[in-house]
Amino acid sequence: MKHALILGLALAFVLAGVATAQDNTLTDDEQAEGWQLLFDGQDYTGWNGVSDQWVIEDGSMATVAGGGGYIVTEERYDDFILSVDFQVTEGANSGIFFRIDNPVDIVGTGIETQILDSAGAEDPGVHHCGAIYEIQAPRVNMARPAGEWQNMTILAEDDLLTVVHNGVPVVTLDLDEWTEPNQNPDGTRNKFPTAYADMARDGHIGLQHHGQRVLFKNIKVLPLN
């Protein structure tokens, strides 16, 4: 399926699906399309790495301030549309990881979409909310203030990635352009010893606990293969 066509599907989902009647459920249309719910609002079934640093609060996954660590799905996914609702607290930093090849080395073998309390930043960079971390900055800052719910929708189709933040495409990139370790196509440096062109095209989905309180809900994925 053409990436632009799938992007249209993702945008339609964000605009219509965010109005789901009940949190952590799938509508009849979503079920018919093949969406899978990754969190039911009750427990961490289907996730590995859960510790006492992760709790369930009012139907949301919540990190405990002062802790740290990652949780990852038991399943692997290759091409997909992933939708996650999240809420940051003041100063919070987190991330949505995908195509994690080795859960023992999440940062080195996965791709991160940055979650950050960066509302109001006038010139968003590669560490701001919506960025592919250290790889490409969001073209526009769509971050809402701390305490408000937001949506991040990620489309991964082979080498093509698109990040949609609060209904607006903020990142579109071709992994095959990242041919050098520790270097972006524009010559700037990144911290990754594996060129993104050589990263696995399938893997686990993960959420990051970076020490601050962040909440997640309505986590759902549409496999495209």
Q: Which residues of the chain have pLDDT under 50?
A: none
pLDDT of 158 reads 97
Q: What is the pLDDT of residue 67?
A: 85
The confidence score (pLDDT) of residue 17 equals: 54
Please write the tens of the pLDDT for every residue from 18-77. Answer: 555 699 999 999 999 999 999 999 999 999 999 999 999 999 999 999 989 999 999 999
At the topology level, CATH places domain 3-223 in Jelly Rolls (2.60.120)
What is the DSSP annotation of the chain? --HHHHHHHHHHHHHHHTT-SSTT---HHHHHHT-EES--SS--TTEES--TTEEEETTEEEEPTT--EEEEEEEEESSEEEEEEEEEPTT-EEEEEEEES-GGGHHHHSEEEEEE--TT-SS--TTSTTSBTTTB--SS--PPPTTS-EEEEEEEETTEEEEEETTEEEEEEEGGG--STTB-TTS-B-S-SS-GGGS-SSEEEEEEE-SS-EEEEEEEEEE--
